Structures are given as structure tokens and as C-alpha cells.
Amino acid sequence: MKRAIANCVAAGAFVLSGFAATGPAKASEFINVLTGGTSGVYYPLGVALAKIYGDGISGARTQVQATKASVENLNLLQQGKGEIGFALGDSVKMAAEGNAEAGFKAPLNKLRGIAAIYPNYIQIVASKDSGIKTLADFKGKSISVGAAKSGTELNARAILAADGMSYKDLAKTEYLPFAESVELIKNRQLDATLQSAGLGVASLKDLATSVAINVVSVPKDVADKLGPPYLATVIPANTYERQTEDVPTVAVVNFLVTREGVSDETAYQMTKLLFEHLDTMKAAHNAASAITLENAIKGMPIPLHPGAARYYKEKGLL
């Protein structure tokens, strides 16, 4: 797996072929897995998923595509340029509604649901030297909020607004991937980063081992103003080095999304194989520990793909 991930980072895409038959999927099936930046959580989980599908779907060829995550993934699916992708629940909802401000020029009516997976925790981390301890401390400071109109950046906008702020209150707003944001903080060119990801994201682990940090809380009153699909939660103590206490924050559930045009059999196999190989997903990243069949269709903001619905009916969820 480590070798596979290294190849992915070097080449930007990872192609696998598998021929172990588990069902009558179409011959020479091509499955492009849309993920996120290589330093986030979507990417290693996407690599694992591609391996599972390549090995488990007869005749399947799989590819992992690194993207700007949620918003780009959903637009690519609508355009038929991917077969399955990761996306945050609020982005999926806005895509179905056609929220132009969020990056969707019209309602994306071809999106179909596969499964709710794990929650993304909003993790706001500042260098200790910046003096940032609360959201209010961001006034006059510099922060990276992820790629413009990515799911992470939409989260940043919403959280600042719920606390009565906007980007205008900041000294500087950067729209950078997780790893680049961390490098700037290390070099004292940036005060903080907001990253929407599973707990223990590699970029923040790297930062915490390099410089002294403050993990900034999102207090309950802000969580209450945000409302669904945001949920109040905590980043447990010791998630990152020198983080000695639980830190209140909010989380948003991630979804695996496919599209109209993917065959019912392929969507069925993609859903079935996901839940039959959760150990492989957990080995790729601990965030997958939160994936459960019981929660697979909770809060789904778009119609289920008929192939996925078939699997859930077999399991008694529908």
C-alpha cells in the first residue's frame, strides 16, 4: 500500500487492474475515483477503494484522481468524468440545489448517492507564536482556507459568518492545499490553517511535530448558529502532538457519490465491496473507522443510485 501511494503521488493518478470476479459487472469497466489533495484523507482512502474495486469487480480498471475535493468532484461527476467521488455533505446539498456562490452554476441533477461514510472535523490550527487562541483572534491575522470554493473553503466561510466575521476581517486569506498551508506556517509566512478532514490528517500531524500549535475551538454557540449539516463535536486530546485537551469543534459527514449512467450492477458492487472491505479502508486511514453500514443512508441529500439501493434493501436498511 505504501508503494502504491508513493506511485500515486509521483504520477498524479494510480491505475490498477483486477480480475477476481464477484459479480457480472461490465467487461473492461473503468472506474475513476475522485479524491482530494494527496496530503488529505480522501486520497489514501481513494487509493484503497480503487484497489478494492480493481480486485473485486470483474474486468475493472481503476484510476485515482487527485482533485480540489468536494466541489470539483461533484462537478466532474455531473460531467461524466468520474464514476465515484468523495464529497462533504453540505457541498452535496448545495450541488443538488445549484448554489452558484458555492461553485455550482446549475443544479447537478445527475448525482446519485452511494453511502454516508465518516465525519470531517473542522480543524483550525494556528502557530502558538501567532497568539491565536479563539475565532475572534483571527481578526488581522492570515489564514489558509483550502482551495477556493472547495468544501473546506465553504466550511471556513460558514464558520466565520456564524461568528460575525468574514474574510474582510483577516489580514490575508490564502486558498492553498493542506500541505502547502502547513509549509507556510512552518516558515512563519502564515498564522493559521483551517482544514476539513478526518481526525489525524497527515498535514496537521506534520505541523504539530514541527512547531508549537494552538488548536482553535469552534464554540457551541457558533455550532448552534450553523445548524445542520454541521454537528457539534470535539477533537479528542492528543490527536496531535502537544494537544493536551479536548477541543470543541463541528463536523460534517462525508459521502461517496456516483452519477446517473453508472450501471446498476457496478453501483451495487461498489457499495457492497466498500462495506465488505472496511478493514482495508481503516488500514489506509483511521478516519474510516467511523464508516458503518447502520449510518450508510442517514442524511443522504441526493437520491440513492438504484444499484446502491438494491444493496441496502438486501441488508434490510430500506
In angstroms, rounded to a whole number, what is the distance separating the alpha carbons of residues 287 and 46? 12
Residue pair 153/146 in contact by the 8 Å Cβ criterion: yes
Taking only the tens place, the pLDDT of each residue in 103-153 is 999 999 999 999 999 998 999 999 999 999 999 999 999 999 998 888 899
Centre a 10 Å sphere on the Cβ of residue 175 and count the other Cβ atoms it contains: 16
Average pLDDT, the chain: 91
DSSP state of 170: S
Mean pLDDT of all residues in 279-291: 96
Report the SS3 class of residue 104. Answer: coil
- Share of residues in the chain with pLDDT > 90 (%): 82
Question: 150 CB contacts (<8 Å, ≥6 apart)?
Answer: 68, 69, 70, 71, 72
Q: CATH 3.40.190.10 region(s) of the chain?
A: 2-119+253-314, 120-252
pLDDT at 6: 41
Q: Which one is predicted more confidently, 16 or 199?
A: 199
Q: Decide: helix, strand or coil at residue 44.
A: helix
Classify domain 2-119+253-314 by CATH number: 3.40.190.10
CATH topology of domain 120-252: D-Maltodextrin-Binding Protein; domain 2 (3.40.190)
CB 214 within 8 A of CB 133: yes
